[in-house]
Amino acid sequence: MSFKKALGKSFVLLIIILILIVGGLLWFDRLGVVHVKDLFAPVYSLLHKEPQTSTTATQSKPFVANLDEDRLKKQREALDIYKEELDKRETDIESLEKQNEQIAAELAEREKNQEEREKTFNQTVKRYDDINVNVEQIAKNLNGMRPEAAVGILEALDDQTVIDVLRKVEELAAASGSASMGSYWLSLMDSKRAAEIQRKMISKPESLE
């Protein structure tokens, strides 16, 4: 009697195990892990039912669609990051171009100022040369005149020109080894004018300005 009970229990357990196996296979087939619908097609035919092929399709398609959507999302994010980098580079380039333009403008302004200074300097040098030539010519002419005539010409000139001429006369006299007429001419001039010229000659450096 106990043997029959044990055999019955074993048979029931075997039936339960088979049901679990079949149910598990059908569930895995539904999930798309394994494909066993063809194996159970006779059972579906016996029960007048068709295998649910559409279920697997509806389960697999959304899964594939989700993968594609995630892939597209990542690609969009990568494109957005790349676009941000390009925008930043473009902004940096524009900023650098503005800095270069500003530096170029400053250099152009400096170059212009330098050219103006050189032009002014050259004009000053030329003017000095012209004045120096004129002063030297006046000094030479006065040296060849009578003292009274030379003093008359000096008194008609402004103080700075008189100073320049007297200094040139002294320079020419030193070069030739002769005596300068400057002091004598001053002694013949008006005393106040002569004193003022001598004061300026002492207080001012040798300059034409």
Contacts of 204 (CB under 8 A, 6+ apart): 163
Asked if 68 and 62 count as a contact pair (C-beta separation under 8 A), the reply is no
pLDDT, residue 36, reads 58
CA 201 – CA 1 distance, rounded (Å): 155
pLDDT, residue 146, reads 94
How close are the terminal C-alpha atoms of the chain, in Å? Answer: 147
pLDDT at 209 over 90: no
Q: 36: closest CA among 28, 44, 48, 45?
A: 28
Query: Model confidence over 107-153: pLDDT tens digits?
Result: 888 888 888 887 776 676 666 667 778 888 999 999 989 999 999 99
pTM of the prediction? 0.41
